[in-house]
Structure 1
Amino acid sequence: MDAFFYVVPSLMIAMVLLAAARVVRRSLRLRSAWNSGLTAEARCLRTYTTTRGGGDSAVRTTLHHVYEFTTREGRPVRMEEAGGPSTVIEGDIVTVHYTAEHPELATAHAPARGKMAAGTVGLLVFFAVFIAFCVGFMVTYHQTFSA
């Protein structure tokens, strides 16, 4: 039974560390695309939504866009991005930012470095507090019930 109070918080910490890695990776990808200086005009081919939740939890809807553009080298690229503006509809032309190495990881989000940095730091602080709580719980349990 004691293992339960160590295994569960450890699994929660592992999941939070994976989420933190995803947040940092996305932040670096966006920053790289914005800083590359490479842009192209992309056509929105399709928009769709996905929903999660329901029942006892809140429903969360995410808007997705599928874009197609041509790189400076003439390579056609089709990419999908979640969380875009609801004002972009099929057929609209938008500017995408991409890197020469990975144009398929382009973004149609306008550069917002401060907003992105604040969001990334905020999430990482939240994750750190969560991890500290889990570690504190395990230490307190160990000190209280093992002796």
Structure 2
Amino acid sequence: MELLFYAVPGIMIAFLVYAAYLLIRRARRISRIWQHGLTAEARCLRSYTTTSGGGGDTSVHTTLHHVYEFTTRDGRTVRFDEGNGPSTIVEGDFVTVRYLPEFPERATALPPSRGKLAFGTGCGVVFIGMAITFCVVFIAVAHMIFSESEGLMP
């Protein structure tokens, strides 16, 4: 029974650390593309939305996606899907995309906004840090309760 109070928060901490790693990796990738990437003109081929959440009593989150296609400087045609783009871009619009020559399929049409990226990443990391702190406190409290009750439990 004690193991449950240690294992579940421990597994949650592992997933939260991995989520923080992914969040920071994404921010570094986008920042690198903005700083060192090449630009190309891309065409929006399609836009669509996805929804997540149960509805009813729970909230539903809608994400707007765009599918872009562009030609790299070496002549390769690349198509990529990007979520959370602006709602003002519609099918047929031309936009500037940035990409790294070694990974053109990881291009982004998001305009450079380092402050917004840093703020969003920072908020995400703070939230994850608070969740990790809660798990650590939970484990510490559970440990105190189990160590104090050792002589009382049969």
Task: Give TM class, smaller chain.
Answer: over 0.9
Structure 2 residue ranges without an equivalent (≥5): none
Do residues 5 (structure 1) and 5 (structure 2) align? yes
Q: 1:41 is matched with which residue? A: 41
What is the root-mean-square deviation in Å for CA atoms of aligned residues? 1.1
How much has 1:16 moved relative to structure 2? 1.1
Q: d(CA) in 2 for partners of 1:94 and 1:78?
A: 13
Residue pairs, 1:49-64, within 5 angstroms: 49-53=49-53, 54-64=55-65
What is the DSSP-based 3-state SS (H/G/I as helix, E as strand, rest coil) of the residue aligned with 1:84?
coil
Percent of paired sites with the same residue: 57
Q: Distance in 2 between matches of 1:66 and 1:33?
A: 18
Unaligned residue ranges in structure 1 (runs of 5+):
none
Q: C-alpha displacement at 1:104, in angstroms?
A: 0.5
Where do 4+ consecutive residues of structure 1 move more than 6 Å? none
Q: TM-score by structure 1 length?
A: 0.95
Deviations 1:95-131 (A, max 9, x none): 0011111010000000001110111122112211211
**SS of alignment partner, residue 105 of structure 1:** strand
Match of 1:145 in 2: 146
Instruction: Give the distance between the partners of 1:86 and 1:132, measured in 2 at CA.
Output: 37
Q: Deviations over 1:59-112 (max 9, x none)?
A: 110000000001111111101100000110000000001111101000000000
Aligned twin of 1:113: 114
Distance 1:52 1:122 in 2: 21
Equivalent residue pairs, number: 147
